[in-house]
């Protein structure tokens, strides 16, 4: 299908200067990795949860999104749920968009028309039902999933003349994603940011932000080896607050949202918060690249998102014009990732300035083997989160359908600072002295200048010296340079009602089991030990600890 496109000479020159035509060159500061922004909006035909949100309200929301993106010459992606795909109004609108600025793809929720046109009986309460066992592919058998994909793709090609390159969903199973890639050539996907319980969907412990190649057995789990991965990068959506999102709802099974979504007035709807977020995004150490997604589903309506959407788009356009970010479609981002990485790369997300008055600082590190998070608070430092990845761990939905209204995707915890905490007691792996005193220090310095390595330096006052924390793909090493090299340790504590996954603590290895999956974390420098009043301690050896996360 050829999109209708009228271009004058002046508009063509402007488009070339603005980089909206294909082949947009990434322009960044020398030696600085690219900051990639996706504008992804997804489209539903109906919203059964709120009476005043009619089909016309939903349609006009998309019209307004297009107007603002056109005004600022921003490229982007619209993902279509099946019922909106077969709606003539959306077809006409999207066919009118310039093909070199907009991408049309798949939003993989399962509405009534898709099920019935695939020859199955609809089990939902409404034309679209958000419950996981009805509105998502995980609620169907693998054979049914393939038929649903075939129905969607046939209709998409009939309407647009080609197969889509991108698919998004709050969560997508490995069987469906692999089938979409193998048969229809999907090259990019996106899923929800990490969350616990929001809308009944839990995705917790995975690759934090950025993108990863998923395991063939589990689309939420990064693969460790190319032969066991689906060659479709999955980008994490919504622009999660790297400092404050994690701790929202401590002691509960439900998290509030702090993200770039324009509908949330205290984050994506607040200009000061957005400026803070983008400053950290552009300036923070990110290793190979940084990524964020902006945009909003039409279910939130222009009435609720419009003012903030109109605020965010010129901010992105300015950063693009200044060479601070590159704006790509989801499909372009996926192709860029595939061109640069054969396996999931190590990346980081760094926020050393806090918009709140708490003066918190954080560093996230991700690789295909594990993720880890550091948090500085009131001069102290702790690991807030460490999760391990294993491509052999199949998701609950790989070969069978889910039967409840909720879904659960998870990685393997070594430290879970959210689920192991309450509002009164915060779990963590803390830096302290052997006598239990908190180690207090100054501001950290983060360096990503060495390929595939993140270096964090933290100066301390007592004991006086400096911690050097080195993150690599397979390990994290911690070395203290200064007074009393072994006068410190790491202590892991959790709230008293938590059943940790630790089944055996040896001197050099901690053996774990979580959701029937065995795994381990070892040390090549330092020692593990069980200690009174703590889940475990890690003591240094010659001033250093080295944690290994690649051996299972």
Q: Are 441 and 335 in contact (CB under 8 A)?
A: no
How far is residue 548's CA from residue 208's CA, in Å, rounded to a whole number? Answer: 19
Q: Are 420 and 494 in contact (CB under 8 A)?
A: yes
How far is residue 299's CA from residue 483's CA, in Å, rounded to a whole number? Answer: 58
Q: Are 389 and 225 in contact (CB under 8 A)?
A: no
Q: What is the pLDDT of residues 196-230, one digit of tens each?
A: 999 999 999 999 999 999 999 999 999 999 999 99
Q: At what angle do helices 301-321 and 55-71 cross, to 10 degrees?
A: 20
Q: Say which residues have a Cβ less than 8 Å from residue 133's Cβ, sequence separation at least 6.
A: 123, 139, 401, 402, 403, 404, 405
Chain centroid, CA 369 distance in Å? 16
Residue 417 tokens, joined:
């600072």
Q: What is the pLDDT of residues 282-319, one digit of tens each?
A: 999 999 999 999 999 999 999 999 999 999 999 999 99
- Mean pLDDT for 325-348 is 99
Q: What is the pLDDT of residues 394-416, one digit of tens each?
A: 999 999 999 999 999 999 999 99
* 166 band by pLDDT with thresholds 50, 70 and 90: very high
Helical segments of 35-173, H only: 55-71, 82-85, 88-95, 112-117, 132-135, 142-160
- DSSP code string of 179-240: HHHHHH---EEEEPPSBSSGGGEEEESS--SSEEPEETTEEEEEPSSGGGB-SS-EEEPS-B
The DSSP secondary-structure symbol of 9 reads H
Residue 483: the pLDDT is 81
Tell me the β-bridge partners of 234: 189, 212
**Range 347-548 has CATH code 2.70.98:** yes
How many alpha carbons lie under 13 Å from residue 496 in its C-beta half-sphere? 3
Residue 367 tokens, joined:
């690789």
- Does residue 2 carry a pLDDT above 50? no
* 34 band by pLDDT with thresholds 50, 70 and 90: very high
Q: Say which residues have a Cβ less than 8 Å from residue 546's Cβ, sequence separation at least 6.
A: 475, 476, 477, 478, 523, 524, 525, 526
CA dihedral of residues 46, 47, 48, 52 (deg, nearest 10): -110
* 11 band by pLDDT with thresholds 50, 70 and 90: very low
Residue 16: the pLDDT is 36
Residue 311 has a CB neighbour count (10 Å cut-off) of 17
- Mean pLDDT for 26-30 is 44
* 31 band by pLDDT with thresholds 50, 70 and 90: low
- Mean pLDDT for 128-148 is 98
How many alpha carbons lie under 13 Å from residue 410 in its C-beta half-sphere? 14
Q: What is the mean pLDDT of the chain?
A: 94
- The length of the chain in residues reads 552
Q: Where in the chain is the domain with CATH 2.70.98?
A: 347-548
**Range 9-340 has CATH code 3.20.20.510:** yes
How far is residue 524's CA from residue 248's CA, in Å, rounded to a whole number? Answer: 35
Which of 280, 156, 265 minimizes the C-alpha distance to 209?
280
Q: Where in the chain is the domain with CATH 3.20.20.510?
A: 9-340
CA dihedral of residues 10, 13, 14, 17 (deg, nearest 10): -170
Of 35-44, 157-166, 246-255, 261-270, least confident by mean pLDDT is 246-255
Residue 7: the pLDDT is 31
Q: What is the pLDDT of residues 97-124, one digit of tens each?
A: 999 999 999 999 999 999 999 999 999 9
Residue 285 CA: distances (Å) to CA of 29, 339, 342, 458? 13, 22, 22, 15
């Amino acid at each position: 299908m050829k999109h209708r496109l009228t271009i004058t000479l002046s508009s063509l020159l402007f488009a070339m200067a603005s980089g909206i035509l294909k082949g947009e060159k990434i322009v960044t500061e020398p030696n600085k990795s690219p900051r990639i922004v996706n504008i992804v909006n997804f489209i539903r035909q109906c919203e059964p949860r709120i009476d005043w949100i009619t089909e016309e309200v939903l349609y006009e929301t998309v019209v307004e999104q297009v107007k603002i993106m056109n005004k600022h010459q921003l490229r982007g992606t619209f993902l279509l749920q099946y019922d909106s795909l077969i709606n003539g109004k959306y077809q006409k609108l999207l066919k009118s968009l310039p093909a070199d600025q907009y991408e049309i793809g798949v939003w993989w929720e399962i509405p009534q028309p898709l099920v019935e046109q695939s020859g199955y009986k609809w089990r939902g309460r409404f034309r679209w039902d958000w419950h996981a066992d009805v509105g998502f592919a995980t609620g169907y058998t693998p054979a049914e999933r393939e038929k649903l994909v075939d129905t969607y793709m046939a209709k998409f090609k009939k309407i647009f003349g080609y197969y889509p390159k991108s698919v998004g969903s709050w969560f997508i199973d490995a069987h469906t994603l692999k089938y979409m890639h193998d048969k229809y050539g999907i090259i990019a996907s996106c899923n929800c940011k990490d969350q616990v319980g929001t809308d009944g969907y839990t995705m917790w412990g995975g690759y934090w932000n950025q993108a990863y190649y998923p395991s063939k057995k589990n689309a939420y789990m990064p693969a460790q080896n190319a032969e066991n991965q689906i060659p479709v990068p999955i980008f994490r959506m919504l622009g999660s607050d790297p400092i404050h999102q994690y701790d929202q709802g401590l002691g509960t099974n439900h998290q509030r949202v702090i993200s770039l979504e324009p509908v949330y007035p205290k984050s994506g709807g607040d200009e000061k918060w957005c400026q803070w977020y983008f400053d950290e995004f552009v300036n923070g150490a990110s290793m190979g690249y940084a990524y964020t997604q902006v945009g909003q589903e039409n279910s939130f309506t222009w009435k609720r998102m419009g003012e903030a959407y109109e605020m965010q788009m010129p901010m992105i356009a300015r950063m693009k014009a200044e060479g601070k970010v590159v704006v790509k479609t989801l499909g372009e981002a996926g192709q860029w990732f595939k061109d640069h990485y054969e396996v999931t790369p190590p990346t980081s997300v760094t926020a050393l300035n806090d918009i709140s008055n708490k003066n918190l600082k954080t560093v996230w590190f991700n690789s295909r083997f594990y993720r880890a998070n550091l948090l500085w608070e009131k001069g102290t430092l702790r690991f807030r989160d460490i999760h391990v990845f294993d491509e052999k761990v199949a998701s609950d939905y790989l070969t069978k359908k889910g039967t409840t209204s909720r879904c659960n995707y998870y990685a393997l915890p070594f430290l879970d600072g959210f689920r192991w905490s309450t509002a009164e007691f915060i779990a963590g792996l803390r830096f302290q002295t052997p006598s239990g005193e908190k180690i207090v220090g100054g501001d950290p310095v983060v360096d990503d200048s060495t390929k595939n390595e993140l270096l964090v330096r933290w100066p301390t006052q007592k004991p006086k010296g400096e911690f050097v924390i080195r993150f690599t793909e397979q390990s994290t090493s911690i070395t203290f340079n200064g007074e009393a090299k072994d006068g410190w340790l790491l202590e892991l504590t959790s709230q008293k009602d938590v059943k940790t996954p630790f089944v055996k603590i040896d001197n050099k290895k901690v053996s774990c089991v979580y959701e029937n999956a065995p795994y381990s974390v070892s040390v090549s420098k330092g020692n593990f030990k069980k200690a009174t009043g703590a889940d475990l301690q890690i003591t240094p050896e010659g001033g250093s600890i080295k944690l290994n996360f690649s051996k299972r």
